[in-house]
Amino acid sequence: MLAFAVLALLCASASANAIQARSSSYSGEYGGGGGKRFSHSGNQLDGPITALRVRVNRYFIVGLQVRYGTVWSDYVGGRLGDLEEIFLHPGESVIQVSGKYKSYLKQLIFVTDKGRYLPFGKDTGTSFNAVPLHPNTVLRFISGRSGSVIDAIGLHWGVYPSHCNSC
């Protein structure tokens, strides 16, 4: 009886692990090797991505800031260029990120599950199209490399959070 209970527990935790493992995926890194690493992995605990700020100049994606729940991440990148801001609608998620890069990131296009297409930057360089591996998963946080511009970006996909610290 005890052996059966232990076996049942083991199976339950193994299948929970399998479910967990099948919900996250990663796309990237897109860009060059310069700059200093950043990651918003801790920020995802503040909630779903609710807004984006992207600084652009004539050639590059210069800087990034992402709002998780009601909390803005630290700004990463440089100071020169125009800061653009877009808020997502309540419950809206990013389900694809496309863009262009050479040594630095040059373009970012966010596509949402409400059919919106939000482009930033210049249409030159090597293309990438990043999408989640698993159905019903969304952009949860970003990572990458930055200095005076955004050198590179990585996209981390997972389930839309059912609760968060500050929503």
**CA–CA separation, 84 and 26 (whole Å):** 26
How many C-beta atoms lie closer than 10 Å to residue 150's C-beta? 31
Tokens of 3: 């052996």
Per CB under 6 A, the list member of 61, 76, 94, 149 interacting with ligand MMA is 149
Q: Does 151 bind ligand MMA (CB under 6 A)?
A: yes
Number of residues that bind ligand MMA (CB under 6 A): 7
When asked if residue 144 is in the footprint of ligand MMA (CB under 6 A), the reply is no
Name the residue nearer to ligand MMA (CB basis): 35 or 81. 35
Least distance CB 74 / ligand MMA (angstroms): 16
Yes or no: say if 82 and 55 are a contact pair by the CB < 8 Å rule: yes
Q: Does 35 bind ligand MMA (CB under 6 A)?
A: yes
Cβ contacts of 116 within 8 Å, gap of 6 or more: 92
CB of 103 to ligand MMA, least distance (A): 8
Please, what is the minimum distance in Å from the beta carbon of residue 27 to ligand MMA? 21
Residue written as token pair 């939000």? 118
Is residue 81 within 8 A of residue 120, CB to CB? The reply is: no
| Residues making contact with ligand MMA (CB under 6 A) | 34-35, 146-149, 151
